[in-house]
Chain A
């Protein structure tokens, strides 16, 4: 399952890699055959693992999706043609959980594109001790999901959690952090933003530090205000980073599974269950691997389309650069 969705990224990245390779060969860089062999040898471990853990399972999933494969039965267990696909496409649970994943993408991508940009802009203005901020914003990214959910689970805990206790001190009722559907989304979003903000932040910061300082000097000499400098220098030159961050964020959010599974298990009553958890529930818990494989492929294609559409939308302007 996850290999299928991982594949989406690989698929989206492939054209870029290919074009770079073409450029390399037409650029007239002539490698000696010995060097080429060394090159292949160096890449081989990755290629082998990539084939075994990503390409292989994806192809196997594709094959399974045409069979009534079951965890409880050996082999592929009977060819069913496109029945699984027909079932998935008309399955209200599939579309319901697809919407949950999409909704999660909407509510997390917006803060995760804007907030890290704001923090990166602020950090970039700090002269001394910038590393403290870089470290503080990036550190949560390094915490494993289990630990993050453990801590947030305690904080969200009804009545005894620190948040409910704080609310009680303010004379307010419990926050129902993971009790109602609406609050569950809020809780999941806060957790996700805190946890993953660092990666986008670092990308932005790198982008900001690539902007030549003389542009700002020149602008300042011409009397441009800080705000004008940001609008006319920073944001335009950061455009490609913003596009990249948005793309990566959409794909990452669409693949959400672990923090929701651990925090709410998709509850209350399945109202926050993302599509990947539904695929897991169907394929592993309910033994219906063939059907779940078909759902994975459908989702894989959906992600591929998202990636391609994004590339097409943004291709022309970037060629003008």
Chain B
């Protein structure tokens, strides 16, 4: 239905039907030719439309008043006095963010602010890039840190000076250093991290109690070994009589997230040198894929035939004991009144606790490139960012781990359950590889994840999955990066 990338990130309850999606640039009035129509048909209307546009543009210049459409055509952009904020957050996240923006508006009544929410993933990053190239950037935008790095390397973001941040009451040392490191390129900061969102374990307290998987204090037993993990899955399966550990292995991106977590624990890396070198370790990767394939195909501990939506729905409905997915599912399960608690993604690979890793990304706030940004406007924008950051506790309620340490360390957040159970994972984030073709919602995740998913569900052998991954990665590594000048 929806692009699978969109689907995967926030598959949850947010029903992203095409009905709710941005009509994009396919506004039939402006789009000159619809591919399913013939030029013989569109030619006259195209001329008519263009003539109309010419009149509209002329009219706008004469009258000086600009509707958004006319502003776009004649290039005046949004009002100079409006603070434009672009976001890709939909569903529960979108609602929380809108509340935070409303709070900003309440405390800054003198600033005109406008929020534009676009389709998650590629559509958003495409529009953001084109807006900058077309010299009509928003003042501030949300970006995943894996994507912000790419935007920054493409020269589409302005760096943020520490002195500017400090003047507006923010110190970079107050942010999760792992996220800050991701936001920094060549010593320059390009994004203010808002959160870290990780894979987590959701467990149904009722089922797990019946299965004897709860400690006396009511929390889940330790899962940090492959045997214990498998055992827990099978014990829970005895109670539910259906599935053990629910993991959406039919979904490429979800498969990638599990692999990236475990493979990073084993010390593996997929690509290096900005994505120009494939360093996939067949032994380590093979061990991870073998393990998950064992769970799905041989031990029956993880369902291989259930779609990611089906396992999600089963957990929400209270018929699944254990479930691994992104922390953002929290709102959906709370809304469904599922009796659940959460703990961190398990450590099943690596030899020491410091090897612990979990696949993650971070939302951050970025300043799209704008050579004409005055200092006053910069300060207004940074004040907006500060207002959002200072509401990190509200944001954290939606499941993501706040990157702002004063919030992360606060008593209020420690009391926020089940969120604080897994908050420490943010320090062990395994971000997607640093490459121009990588990042959240990227084609890379779908391609590599596709081969992983095929192995996990028994559609291909482990060796074939590794071979295919390597072949495609080699191709990507050899492709000249579009971010670099010739």
- Tell me the A residues contacting B by CB distance below 8 Å: 2, 5-6, 9-10, 45-46, 49, 53, 68, 70-73, 77-78, 87, 141, 144-146, 149-150, 153-154, 156-158, 160, 178-179, 192, 195-196, 199, 248, 251-253, 255-259, 261-270, 276, 281, 284-289
Contact = CB atoms under 8 A, between A and B. Distances in A.
B67 interface: no
Nearest to A265: B3
A265 B3 CA distance: 5
Given A2-B33, A70-B482, A267-B1, A49 B47 contact: yes
Interface in B247-300: 252
B155 A285 contact: no
Give the secondary structure class of B's interface. Answer: loop
**Closest 5 interchain pairs by CB?**
A78-B486, A265-B3, A144-B28, A72-B154, A153-B18
Contacts of A144: 28
B33 A195 contact: no
B295 to A, nearest CB: 22
Nearest to A7: B39
A242 to B, nearest CB: 16
Contacts of A45: 47
Nearest to B132: A72
A259 B483 contact: no
29 contacts: A2-B33, A5-B35, A9-B39, A49-B47, A53-B32, A70-B483, A71-B129, A72-B129, A73-B482, A87-B479, A153-B1, A153-B17, A196-B37, A257-B35, A258-B26, A258-B35, A259-B36, A262-B26, A264-B1, A265-B2, A265-B3, A265-B4, A265-B6, A266-B3, A267-B7, A268-B4, A269-B4, A285-B125, A288-B479
B402 to A, nearest CB: 30
B482 A71 contact: yes
A242 B7 CA distance: 42
Nearest to A161: B17
B61 to A, nearest CB: 20
Which among B26, B252, B437 has the greatest number of chain A C-beta atoms within 10 A?
A: B26
Contacts of B7: 267
A165 to B, nearest CB: 15
B17 A269 contact: no
B480 A154 contact: no
B252 A269 contact: yes
Contacts of B419: none
A71 B134 CA distance: 11
Contacts of B359: none
Interface of B: 1-4, 6-7, 15, 17-19, 21, 23-24, 26-28, 31-41, 46-47, 50, 122, 125-126, 129-130, 133, 154-156, 252, 307, 437, 443, 446, 450, 479-480, 482-486
Contacts of B126: 284-285
A10 B450 CA distance: 40
Contacts of B252: 269
B486 A154 contact: no
Given A2-B35, A153-B17, A267-B4, A286 B446 contact: no
Contact of A71 (B18, B38, B133): B133
B36 A258 contact: yes
Given A150-B18, A248-B40, A287-B482, 9 more contacts: A53-B50, A72-B156, A73-B155, A145-B36, A153-B19, A253-B36, A258-B35, A269-B252, A285-B125
Contacts of B479: 87, 288
B281 to A, nearest CB: 25
Contacts of B3: 264-267
A6 B480 CA distance: 29
A192 B36 contact: yes
B196 to A, nearest CB: 25
A145 B129 contact: no
A256 B35 CA distance: 5
A259 to B, nearest CB: 6
Nearest to B18: A153
Nearest to A160: B15
B453 to A, nearest CB: 9
B482 A255 contact: no
B123 to A, nearest CB: 8
